[in-house]
Amino acid sequence: MTIFVIQILNSFFYAAVLFLIAAGLSLIYGVMRIVNLAHGALYALGAYVSAWIVGSAVGHALEGTLGLAGMLLLLPLGAIAIAAVGALIEPTLLRPLYQRSEEYHLLVTFGLLLILEDVMKLVFGRTPLSAGTIMDRMGSIPVGRLMYPTYNLFVVAVGIAAAIGLWAFIYRTKFGVILRATSQDRRMAAALGINVSRVYVQAFAIGCFMAGLGGAVVVPAQAAVLGLGIEVLILAFVVVVIGGLGSLQGALVGAVIVSFVRTAGIQFFPEIELAVLYLIAAAVLLVRPTGLFGRA
Amino acid sequence: MTMTMAATGTSIWRTTIDSALVLVILAILPQVVDPYQTVLLTYGLIMAIAALGFNLLLGYTGLLSFGHSAYFGAGAYLVAFITRDLGAHSMELCIVGGMLGTLIIAAIFGFVCVRHTRIFFGILTLALSQVLWSLAFKFFWVTGGTDGIRVPYASLTLLGGLVDFKGGGSFQRFIYAYYYYVLALFAVSTTIMWVIAHSPFGKALQAIRDNETRARFVGISVRRYRWIAFMISGIFTGLAGILWVPLNGLTTPDILYWPFSGEIVFMSVLGGFRSFTGPIVGAMAFNYLKTYAIASTEYWQLLLGVVLVILVMALPAGIVGTAAQLAAKRGRSTK
């Protein structure tokens, strides 16, 4: 029974991280119809930058003065850095391509993925970076007869907060209205006086922020290694395909489904755990190409 | 959109003479260059077959597959299974078995994928190729996991046992014999693909690419044509995987992983996917580019990524397309 509870908690932990990544991917697709193959690399970059920031803070003996709360507050800096990278990428690499067919979108983001993978190798080296101090300092809480790391619960809370925050942002603010209007009809939005280029930069930066945040929250639990983003991208694809490309609710439900299937898979059918996920994605695309929550 | 898919205006004789000339040069090259260059050329020709197959979908049918690693990898693993588990030595047997197997996989995957177009098609091909990757990755007692399966060239024979590679100096003999073997298959594949692309079937595919609705009104069964194109494309890429294994000596899950599909797309765009010869030129060029990038810097992916981004931004027509544009411009200015 205890194991069962822990597996459920683990699933929610994965779901929170996957949701952060998939929501960014989905937002970018929803607004500018670009499938960002570099999204996983941006997630990995977020993990590296956050681990590096926390690592240097600890290294400079700031740990004593910082305290746990201070270190937790350092983590989002990585996400902000990724948002800045995104705000740089959109106008330079993506904006010239909106008029061209989507093959070119995939190619340019694939090129970006190759570049980012090596930039990470160049800047952070081959040794894995981790911010495990945070996880250690948070301790663990008893679940039945076993102990469970408190940090994982914190990540679940971040995931829930991000979901609520993003929902409120998109459906309850003026910027959200502008974002949705641009997403539905770019030309009409431009005709109404909306600065579409600026909306695109902002949307892309927010999407990148989400990916970076995903990396930032995962790095205290799991070290940043090379190639981290390549596998995660495909999982994020599975999430948005199940939930529906461009749908926020879809990303949430998809992330939960994928995490639970994965946890069950690792427990009961480890050999075909990944294959089952890809097959689910293929089946959903076949039966309902717009996903569970997508619109045509 | 103006597109010159074939040598329009020039006669079929001109094309034949040009290709014969290229073949003669390719046949002489190993006598002139050193064995290492011969190996590189062989890899280039093999990748050209893969890109040629891939481009039947992208260039002619307008479907961007991001999962062609599946067919390349399937071909490679089938050869490994045939030599290891069936104890076969004949390369021809490997080719026939591998192509049949790839055809079955392409038929199943294609049947599913052609129900969609554009981005959904791309994601579907990607997801299905990753099913194969995860199976090769996880069932290590069958596939060797990340270690892969070794396929030693010495255990193979070419031309039904006429050519074998036992005894001293066999690697040198293998390199030369295998180069001509691959060159012959490359010539046959290119000819077949040229005929397909210029047949009524190929024209129908182009009609589907340019305007699906009109093609349907003309009476073309769009989904069936796409499915057939998908299978042909898969077999060609599978053949490339089959030929690649003995040269590489080893097959690992890397060639089933989705970044490898990205490389196949990269090659076709590098050469120019709007022309028949583009993917061939692109595959050869990419092969050299990657080899020298890996040899000269640890950060070769960075280099390749920058090349790809520049290509998409500045030269979307690729090498062949840009050369054609330049030639056309010069032709106008001299008139």
State mean pLDDT over B306-321.
Answer: 85
Do the Cβ atoms of B132 and B76 come closer than 8 Å?
A: no
* Cα distance between residue A28 and residue A199, in whole Å: 11
Do the Cβ atoms of A97 and A104 come closer than 8 Å?
A: yes
What would the pLDDT profile of A225-248 be if each residue is shown by its tens digit?
888 888 888 889 889 888 888 888
What's the confidence (pLDDT) of residue B168?
67
What would the pLDDT profile of A11-48 be if each residue is shown by its tens digit?
999 999 999 999 999 999 888 888 888 999 999 999 99
State mean pLDDT over B186-202.
Answer: 92
- Kindly indicate the confidence band of residue B5, based on its pLDDT and cuts at 50, 70 and 90: very low
Radius of gyration of chain B (CA): 20
* Cα distance between residue B79 and residue B88, in whole Å: 9
Mean pLDDT computed over every residue of chain B: 85
Is the pLDDT at B233 greater than 90? The verdict is: yes
Relative to beta strand B157-158, strand B250-251 is unpaired
Percentage of residues of chain B with pLDDT beyond 90: 30
Which tokens go with A260?
């639970």
Which tokens go with B309?
């981004």
Picking from A234, A238, A266 by the largest number of B CB atoms within 10 A of its own CB, the best residue to mutate is A234
Position B8: which residue type?
T
What would the pLDDT profile of A166-198 be if each residue is shown by its tens digit?
999 888 988 888 888 888 888 888 888 888 888
Do the Cβ atoms of A291 and A241 come closer than 8 Å?
A: yes
What's the confidence (pLDDT) of residue A31?
87
Q: Which helix or strand (DSSP H or E) is residue B125 part of?
A: helix B118-138
Mean pLDDT computed over every residue of chain A: 86
Give the chain A residue whose CA is nearest to the CA of B307. Answer: A111
Partners of B60 on chain A (C-beta within 8 Å) are none
Do the Cβ atoms of B278 and B268 come closer than 8 Å?
A: yes
What's the confidence (pLDDT) of residue A139?
80
Query: What sign for the dihedral angle of Cα B196, B199, B205, B210?
Result: positive
Partners of B122 on chain A (C-beta within 8 Å) are 35, 106
Overall pTM > 0.90: no
Partners of A112 on chain B (C-beta within 8 Å) are 305, 309
What's the confidence (pLDDT) of residue A63?
58
Is the pLDDT at B58 greater than 70? The verdict is: yes
- Kindly indicate the confidence band of residue B2, based on its pLDDT and cuts at 50, 70 and 90: very low
Is the pLDDT at A64 greater than 80? The verdict is: no
Q: Which residues, at least 6 apart from A179, have a Cβ–Cβ distance to it below 8 Å? A: A31, A170, A199, A202, A203
Burial of A214 (0-12, 13-18, 19+ CB in 10 A): buried
State mean pLDDT over A118-125.
Answer: 88
Nearest to A276 by CA among A265, A286, A267: A265
State mean pLDDT over A254-277.
Answer: 86
* Cα distance between residue B33 and residue B24, in whole Å: 15
Place of tokens 């663990």: A140
Which tokens go with B237?
């890429």
CA B224 to each of CA A239, B203, B213, B230: distance values in angstroms, whole numbers, following the listed order: 30, 15, 15, 10
- Kindly indicate the confidence band of residue B280, based on its pLDDT and cuts at 50, 70 and 90: very high
What's the confidence (pLDDT) of residue A228?
85
Determine the distance in angstroms separating the CA of B279 from the nearest CA of chain A, rounded to an integer: 15
Kindly state the greatest CA–CA separation across chain B: 67
When divided into structural domains, chain B yields a total of 1
What's the confidence (pLDDT) of residue B56?
92
Task: Name the phi and psi angles at B164, rounded to 5.
Answer: -125, 170
State mean pLDDT over B100-123.
Answer: 88
By the CB < 8 Å criterion, does A223 face chain B?
no
Place of tokens 């949705």: A180
Cβ within 8 Å, pair B299-A230: no
Cβ within 8 Å, pair A35-B302: no
- Kindly indicate the confidence band of residue A62, based on its pLDDT and cuts at 50, 70 and 90: low
Cβ within 8 Å, pair B305-A118: yes
Question: Domain coordinates of chain A in residue numbers?
Answer: 2-287
What's the confidence (pLDDT) of residue B186?
93
Do the Cβ atoms of A155 and A13 come closer than 8 Å?
A: yes
Q: Which residues, at least 6 apart from A62, have a Cβ–Cβ distance to it below 8 Å? A: A70
Q: Which residues, at least 6 apart from A127, have a Cβ–Cβ distance to it below 8 Å? A: none
Nearest to A107 among B127, B137, B308 (CB): B308
Cβ within 8 Å, pair A102-B119: yes
Which residue pairs from B185-193 have beta carbons closer than 8 angstroms and sit at least 24 positions apart in sequence?
B185/B49, B185/B239, B185/B243, B186/B45, B186/B46, B186/B48, B186/B49, B187/B23, B189/B49, B189/B52, B189/B236, B189/B239, B190/B19, B190/B48, B190/B49, B190/B52, B190/B280, B193/B52, B193/B53, B193/B56, B193/B236, B193/B276
Which residue pairs from B152-158 have beta carbons closer than 8 angstroms and sit at least 24 positions apart in sequence?
B152/B249, B153/B178, B153/B246, B153/B247, B153/B249, B155/B83, B155/B89, B156/B83, B156/B89, B156/B90, B156/B91, B156/B94, B156/B246, B157/B89, B157/B90, B157/B91, B158/B91, B158/B92
Range(s) of the domain holding residue B117: 17-256
Which tokens go with A253?
């439900």
How large is the ipTM? 0.84
Domain contains B104: yes
- Kindly indicate the confidence band of residue B235, based on its pLDDT and cuts at 50, 70 and 90: very high
By the CB < 8 Å criterion, does A205 face chain B?
no
Is the pLDDT at A115 greater than 70? The verdict is: yes
Nearest to A19 by CA among A222, A230, A163: A163
* Cα distance between residue A232 and residue A218, in whole Å: 12
* Cα distance between residue B181 and residue B45, in whole Å: 11
Is the pLDDT at B4 greater than 50? The verdict is: no
Cβ within 8 Å, pair B126-A234: yes
Residue, of B36 and B107, whose pLDDT is higher: B107
What's the confidence (pLDDT) of residue A71?
76
Partners of B317 on chain A (C-beta within 8 Å) are none
What's the confidence (pLDDT) of residue A244?
84
Domain contains B273: no
Residue A142 pairs in a beta bridge with A147
Cβ within 8 Å, pair B305-A112: yes
Is the pLDDT at A205 greater than 90? The verdict is: yes
Q: Which residues, at least 6 apart from B36, have a Cβ–Cβ distance to it below 8 Å? A: none
Residue B192 pairs in a beta bridge with none
State mean pLDDT over B176-205.
Answer: 91
